[in-house]
Structure 1
Amino acid sequence: MDSFTDLVAVVTGGGSGIGAAVTAELRERGVRVGVLDLNPGEPAPGVLPVVADVADRVSLTSAMAAVAEEFGGVDILVNNAGISAVGGIDANDDEEWHRVLDINVVGIARATSAALPYLRRSRAAAIVNVSSIAAGAGLVQRALYSASKGAVHALTLSTAADLVTDGIRVNCVAPGTVDTPWVARLLARADDPVGERERLEARQPTGRLVTAQEVAGAVAYLASPASGATTGTSLAVDGGMAGLRLPARS
């Protein structure tokens, strides 16, 4: 717990869902947090909400500077902001492909670039990107989303290689299906919301959805200075979906 003392984190997309859980987890461990989001919420002790858009480089640069000025620097960047897309390879037009890739992939590059001047001055610099199990599993009706998260995984590895000599660790978490407001909205649009939720739960060997708090715990592990030997790693938080092959349920 003490390894986080006096550190400052920035969480993109920190206003809800996984990002809000990450903010709460880091605050519990004593980290001061800048929440960058279109709707970042209200100020709280140790939390600075800043309106920012990962699709806008100027917005991110300004927001990162505001956090650094308020808290005296930036040590941890959690690239959590992202959007989803549903459908096969022919389901989304070019505009949607550009929009999703711009936010999910280029948005990480923008936020990381904006944070680098501060991270390079940190004694415990770490970047954690939020990827997805979709980066390595062939999920049906997730072509665009999976492509974007596969790119996040590759970007994590490349950035880790580039920044290791600067003392900046770069890792990612790969959640399975997480019980968030976004998933709730997706289920609400399904023809059979109860049946669809049961299907999502059943495809994870634990038989349930992942909680946002479980993902936040993994992010905190990777961000902690106690994990100083860990870089270029993708940590699955998916109920065993990536690696386990169980017998079919009778």
Structure 2
Amino acid sequence: MTQNLSGKTALVTGGGSGIGESVCLRLAGDGAHVVVVDLNLDAAQRTVIKIEQAGGEASAYECDISQHGQTKEVFAKILEQSAVDILINNAGIAHVGNLESTAEADLDRLYSVNVKGVYNAMSALIGAMKAQKSGVIINLASVASSVGIADRFAYSMTKGAVLTMTYSVAKDYINDGIRCNCIAPGRVHTPFVDNFLEKNYPDTKQEMFEKLSKSQPIGRMGQADEIAGLIAYLCSDQAAFITGSNIPIDGGFVTLNN
């Protein structure tokens, strides 16, 4: 089911690949002008080309969202071109390890992107959204925000922060016409998963893929376009009564894995 996002401008961080790319394509297909923001400008431009080939409208910007000053500067340039109606905080990085195997540098690296990056992006746009008395912010949290997952110490820390930042922003700006929600995906099949298996399990890739797939009670990983579909709905006027929510999309991982 498509949503009517005509006349809206949506900014998507990490839009050059994986879930972010799928979100960009979906929002553009639903009529939004999509601003693709990515650390890799070439990747962002490839997403723009795909959108334009499908008849949509998009633009690409390079930005390291872990850098506060750079994010403010790039987002200010974007706002000079158009109001931003929708912010999708998708960009993020992962780390495998428990407390003992998580170095300080690992913790700082994940914090800088997954927590500070979300803060930087919201901080750069919240003033403009307040001024226009409207806005939708969707943050990508995780099942790791609310349940314990082995060997994900730093990652879980950051995604827990994304969840609580979402609650805080939803509460503080509800009277400014701004809705803020997050979604909590389970494991989603993206190039990241394939690269992880290739790097860590080169001789047993298929076996590990099946094992990871079956960790979701539904028996498979999610697909990026399924995540994009939920995000498109939450961005639409049909979801106008939803704010301050953490919406799972995890094949039953949180509630049925017992």
Could you tell me the TM-score, scaled by structure 1's length? 0.93
Map 1:61-76 → 2, pairs under 5 A? 61-70=72-81, 72-76=82-86
Where in structure 2 are there 5+ consecutive unaligned residues?
Answer: none
Q: Match of 2:178?
A: 168
Contact (CA 8 Å) 1:75, 1:118: kept in 2 or not?
Answer: no
Question: What letter corresponds to residue 143 of structure 1 in structure 2?
Answer: F
Map 1:18-37 → 2, pairs under 5 A? 18-37=19-38
Q: Match of 1:214?
A: 226
1:38 maps onto 2:50 in alignment: no
Tell me by how many angstroms 1:206 deviates.
Answer: 1.2
Could you tell me the TM-score, scaled by structure 2's length? 0.90
The verdict on how the C-alpha distance between 1:231 and 1:244 changes in structure 2, with shifts beyond 3 A counting, is same
Match 2:101 to one of 91, 98, 101 = 91
Contact (CA 8 Å) 2:45, 2:59: kept in 1 or not?
Answer: no
Q: By percentage of residues, which structure has more helix?
A: 2
CA distance in 2, matches of 1:93, 1:245: 30
Q: Match of 2:161?
A: 151
Where in structure 1 are there 5+ consecutive unaligned residues?
Answer: none
Contact (CA 8 Å) 2:133, 2:176: kept in 1 or not?
Answer: no
CA distance in 1, matches of 2:5, 2:128: 17
CA distance in 2, matches of 1:177, 1:101: 21
CA distance in 2, matches of 1:122, 1:51: 25
Tell me by how many angstroms 1:68 deviates.
Answer: 2.3
Tell me by how many angstroms 1:69 deviates.
Answer: 2.6
CA distance in 1, matches of 2:22, 2:131: 27
SS in 2 for 1:243: helix
Percent of aligned pairs sharing the same letter:
36
Q: Which runs of 4+ in 1 moved over 4 A?
A: none
Tell me by how many angstroms 1:2 deviates.
Answer: 6.2
The verdict on how the C-alpha distance between 1:119 and 1:213 changes in structure 2, with shifts beyond 3 A counting, is same
Contact (CA 8 Å) 1:190, 1:196: kept in 2 or not?
Answer: no
Q: Match of 1:5?
A: 6
CA distance in 1, matches of 2:131, 2:37: 21
CA distance in 2, matches of 1:142, 1:120: 36
CA distance in 1, matches of 2:217, 2:126: 38
Match 1:223 to one of 211, 218, 235 = 235
Tell me by how many angstroms 1:37 deviates.
Answer: 0.5
- Paired residues, number: 245
Q: Match of 1:58?
A: 69
Contact (CA 8 Å) 2:3, 2:233: kept in 1 or not?
Answer: no
Question: What letter corresponds to residue 81 of structure 1 in structure 2?
Answer: A
CA distance in 1, matches of 2:130, 2:238: 18
Contact (CA 8 Å) 1:124, 1:225: kept in 2 or not?
Answer: no
User: CA RMSD for the aligned pairs?
Assistant: 1.5
Question: What letter corresponds to residue 211 of structure 2 in structure 1?
Answer: R
Tell me by how many angstroms 1:229 deviates.
Answer: 0.8
Contact (CA 8 Å) 2:186, 2:222: kept in 1 or not?
Answer: yes
Q: Match of 1:194?
A: 206
